């Protein structure tokens, strides 16, 4: 968890697993930074989750797979992931939505509205042209100009900045996945 905390704070995400007691130092720090409500402001235990909650769940789930090895055609932590297998697995496990297998098909999936680079929110799918064809690579935006993805053979799932020259030049667009996106 210590490794994930700076990423989650940078993304501005609330942590549902953090205790809210007044003597909880981590909970107090998160409340002070405005990413977790103070104990007095805690939401009702049966409040319906908002779309932002689902975005946070997508980001947290994606970050749980950091360092899982890349495997072409892979779609599980045990065998490894390729880029589209990674996004497909995370979205399916969090939202129950089955995305198509290939990144280009995910980009064209009905019910996933396009999102501009300026309007990106955590949990959005981000697409890149890495093989001289549109939408040949996909990852999950986590906020603060960063995304998590399964990069290529010999690598592992990792977080990268979208504003590096390599990724910035290759950005193809983004799509928003919501619980109402359908399957």
Residue positions annotated with a catalytic role: 83, 137, 149
Q: Report the C-alpha gap between 161 and 148 in whole angstroms.
A: 9
Antiparallel, parallel or unpaired: β 75-76 and 80-81: antiparallel
SS3 156: strand
126 token code pair: 């981000």
Contacts of 47 (CB under 8 A, 6+ apart): none
User: For residue 149, what is the enclosing H or E element?
Assistant: strand 146-149
β-pairing verdict for 75-76 and 146-149: unpaired
CB contact at 8 A, 59 and 143: yes
d(CA 15, CA 56): 8
Interatomic CA distance for residues 12 and 122, integer angstroms: 9
């Amino acid at each position: 968890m210590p490794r994930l905390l700076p990423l989650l704070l940078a993304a501005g995400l609330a942590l549902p697993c953090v205790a809210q007691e007044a003597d909880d130092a981590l909970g107090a720090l998160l409340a002070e930074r405005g990413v977790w409500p103070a104990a007095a402001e805690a939401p009702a235990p049966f409040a319906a989750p908002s779309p932002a909650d689902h975005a946070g769940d997508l980001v947290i789930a994606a970050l749980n797979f950091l360092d899982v090895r890349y495997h072409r055609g892979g779609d599980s932590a045990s065998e490894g992931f390729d880029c589209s297998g990674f996004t497909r697995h995370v979205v399916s496990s969090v939202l129950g939505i089955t995305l198509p297998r290939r990144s280009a098909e995910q980009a064209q999936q009905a019910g996933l509205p396009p999102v501009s680079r300026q309007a990106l929110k955590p949990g959005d799918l981000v697409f890149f042209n890495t093989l001289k064809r549109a939408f040949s690579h996909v990852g999950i935006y986590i906020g603060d100009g960063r995304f998590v993805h399964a990069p290529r053979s010999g690598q592992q799932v990792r977080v990268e900045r979208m504003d590096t020259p390599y990724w910035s030049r290759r950005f193809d667009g983004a799509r928003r996945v919501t619980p109402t996106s359908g399957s």
